[in-house]
């Protein structure tokens, strides 16, 4: 199953707004770049969704036979706060608040980010480059843009001249914005006197003495503009034009729009062939936001320690829940939906545990081949994980029916069904067993049930000394028996 025979893979290209057949530039190689986290605070749940979506893309491309170089950067400098904060660097801000060296902040949150990625079973990218690791290259890209005439130096900063660029190459194609409307809707350059036009963005920013992260450059001491690093790192590792660039849809404008402009201005090359954007999270139908108090962290979702959460959910429950929704749709968190996902995942896993023990028949009354084809078709249709999962539940129905003796499968089809489930559940969806079924708990329960029977028998023959002896023996081992109207249950004391 690990070749490209299962039909072409289509994905929605945000640039053309169309579902297109994916044809890589240099098969079997695929270059994939995803905008990674800014490591000045804990990773939020929206990041987890984005990176989980691209993790499934990465897994799928590898599964259908491509050799993928997956680059996901770490933004450890230069993430501007936007015009309001006028170029203040978020990392430096966090550092001052915590009285730490900026790179200590970076290290802390990078480690935290990696821990969360491991928790949700996301694979490591092939390369995880940092903005600070590519300063020379960023300075050189600024020089190339200056040389091409689409940037200007102003007071030790360098700005990208958006109107000038737009006139020659157009601007706004990815996000569907029109330069005239953008210009009309943008306030003046008040408080930003370095800029010629309000739309211009810094590709190099001068640093005042209050800045902790800064480097020497041909324009004085400063730091790179945020949009620059992704242009530099994606093309350095994937080539001046590469296959897929992804990120959350909030990055479409201005970040990705600016990336395109930078590459075209510096190197005359359109950098990306397929753009892919993941959609946002909501909670009970409302946008997740700090100010609304409905923005729980990944840790809170797992522990249940948030006022909107009735309980905690396991990492695989969260992952399964996310993948039951298409990456391009809004994903709405609610306790009801999470609990439904928890039950669904338990049903799926329970059926998978039955699979190896299913009794083979001579005949079969389920078409496993067709089921497999529908799973592949769903994934090849723009990574349609919800449809693929629905097909897996059709498989669950078959497994349970065979187990109940209401349907039959021959040995070859049982084996094929097992392969399909292992592939789709573990390799492609990236789920993993959370409770290793080493049987410890069930053996323990089996032994205790034997004692409960013995005690019941002793009671039935009115040998209360014997029945009390059983209870006391278990109590000494820390097992407490409870007599209820439904019979005797037990728990750890």
Q: How far is CA 454 from the centre of its chain?
A: 52
Q: Which long-range contacts (C-beta less than 8 Å, at least 24 apart) are formed by 293-298? A: 295/44, 295/45, 296/45, 297/42, 297/44, 297/45, 298/43, 298/44, 298/45, 298/48, 298/116, 298/119, 298/120
Does 478 sit near its own copies (CB under 8 A)?
yes
In angstroms, what is the minimal distance from the CB of 237 to its own copies?
6
In the structure encoding, which two tokens stand for residue 286, read together? Answer: 């409302």
Shortest distance, CB of residue 31 to its own copies, whole angstroms? 11
Pick out residues in 335-394 that bind its own copies (CB under 8 A).
none
Q: Would you give the binding string for its own copies spanning residues 433-462, x where CB under 8 A is met?
A: ------xx--xx-xxx-xx-----------
Nearer to its own copies, 168 or 473 (CB): 473
- Distance of alpha carbon 491 from alpha carbon 493, whole angstroms: 6
- Closest distance to its own copies from the beta carbon of 236 (Å): 9
Site for its own copies (CB under 8 A): which residue of 21, 86, 98, 101? 101
Whether omega for the bond prior to residue 254 falls within 30 degrees of 0, making it cis, is yes
Task: Pick the piece of the chain touching its own copies (CB under 8 A) from 128-136, 285-293, 380-388, 459-467.
Answer: 128-136
From the list 8-16, 307-315, 396-404, 477-485, the region that binds its own copies by CB under 8 A is 477-485
Give CA–CA dist 290/309, Å, rounded: 16
Closest approach of its own copies to the CB of residue 271, in Å = 18
**Pick from 46, 173, 179, 215: which binds its own copies (CB under 8 A)?**
215
Residues whose CB is less than 8 angstroms from the CB of residue 327 and which lie 6 or more positions away in sequence, other chains included = 53, 56, 278, 279, 383, 385
Nearest approach, Cβ of residue 480 and its own copies (Å): 12
Part of the chain binding its own copies (CB under 8 A), chosen from 56-64, 97-105, 243-251, 360-368 = 97-105
Confirm if 344 and 324 have CB atoms less than 8 A apart: yes
Query: Between residue 137 and residue 166, which ones bind its own copies under the rule CB under 8 A?
Result: 137, 139-140
Query: For its own copies, which residue of 28, 97, 473, 475 counts as binding (CB under 8 A)?
Result: 473
Cis peptide before 220 (omega within 30 of 0): no
Contacts of 11 (CB under 8 A, 6+ apart): 19, 20, 22, 57, 244, 274, 276, 382, 383
- According to the binding rule CB under 8 A, does residue 133 interact with its own copies? yes
Cα–Cα distance between 204 and 226 in angstroms, integer?
9
Instruction: Give contact residues for its own copies (rule: CB under 8 A).
Output: 69, 101, 103-104, 106-107, 111, 114, 124-130, 132-137, 139-140, 215-216, 237, 439-440, 443-444, 446-448, 450-451, 473, 476-479, 492
């Amino acid at each position: 199953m690990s070749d490209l025979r299962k039909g072409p893979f289509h994905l929605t290209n945000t640039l053309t707004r169309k579902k297109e057949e994916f044809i890589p530039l240099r098969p079997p190689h695929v270059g994939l770049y995803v905008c990674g986290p800014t490591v000045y605070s804990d990773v939020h749940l929206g990041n987890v969704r984005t990176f989980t979506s691209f993790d499934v893309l990465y897994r799928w491309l590898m599964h259908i036979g491509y050799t993928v170089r997956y680059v996901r950067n770490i933004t450890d400098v230069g993430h501007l706060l936007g015009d309001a904060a006028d170029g203040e660097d978020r990392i430096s801000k966090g550092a001052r608040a915590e009285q730490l060296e900026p790179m200590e902040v970076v290290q802390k949150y990078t480690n935290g980010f990696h821990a969360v990625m491991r928790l949700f079973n996301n694979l490591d990218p092939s390369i995880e480059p940092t903005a600070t690791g590519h300063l020379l290259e960023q300075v050189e890209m600024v020089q190339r843009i200056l040389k091409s005439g689409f940037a200007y130096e102003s007071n030790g900063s360098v700005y990208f001249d958006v109107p000038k660029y737009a006139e020659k190459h157009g601007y706004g194609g990815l996000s569907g914005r029109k330069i005239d409307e953008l210009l009309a809707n943008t306030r003046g350059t008040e408080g930003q006197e370095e800029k010629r036009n309000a739309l211009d963005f810094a590709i190099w920013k001068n640093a005042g003495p209050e800045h902790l992260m800064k480097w020497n450059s041909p324009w004085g001491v400063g730091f790179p503009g945020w949009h620059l690093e992704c242009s530099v790192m994606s093309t350095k590792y994937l080539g001046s034009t590469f296959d897929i660039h992804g990120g959350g849809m909030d990055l479409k404008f201005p970040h990705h729009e600016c990336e395109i402009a930078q590459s075209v201005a510096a190197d005359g090359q359109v950098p990306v062939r397929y753009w892919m954007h993941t959609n946002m999270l909501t909670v009970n139908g409302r946008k997740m936001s700090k100010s609304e108090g409905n923005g729980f962290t990944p840790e809170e979702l797992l522990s249940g320690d948030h006022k909107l959460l009735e309980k905690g959910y396991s990492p695989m429950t969260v992952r399964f829940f996310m993948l039951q929704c298409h990456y391009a749709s809004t994903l709405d968190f609610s306790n009801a939906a999470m609990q439904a996902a928890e039950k669904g995942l338990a049903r799926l896993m329970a059926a998978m545990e039955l699979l190896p023990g299913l009794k083979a028949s001579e005949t079969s009354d389920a078409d496993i081949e067709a089921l497999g084809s529908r799973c592949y078709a769903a994934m090849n249709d723009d990574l349609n994980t919800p449809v693929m999962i629905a097909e897996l539940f059709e498989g669950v129905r078959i497994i349970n029916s065979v187990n109940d003796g209401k349907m039959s499968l021959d040995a070859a089809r049982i084996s094929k069904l097992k392969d399909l489930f292992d592939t789709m559940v573990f390799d492609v969806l990236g789920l993993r067993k959370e409770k290793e079924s080493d049987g410890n708990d069930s053996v323990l329960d089996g032994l205790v049930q034997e004692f409960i029977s013995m005690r019941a028998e002793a009671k039935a023959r009115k040998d209360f000394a014997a029945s009390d002896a059983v209870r006391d023996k278990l109590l000494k081992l820390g097992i407490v028996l409870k007599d209820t109207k439904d019979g005797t249950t037990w728990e750890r004391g």
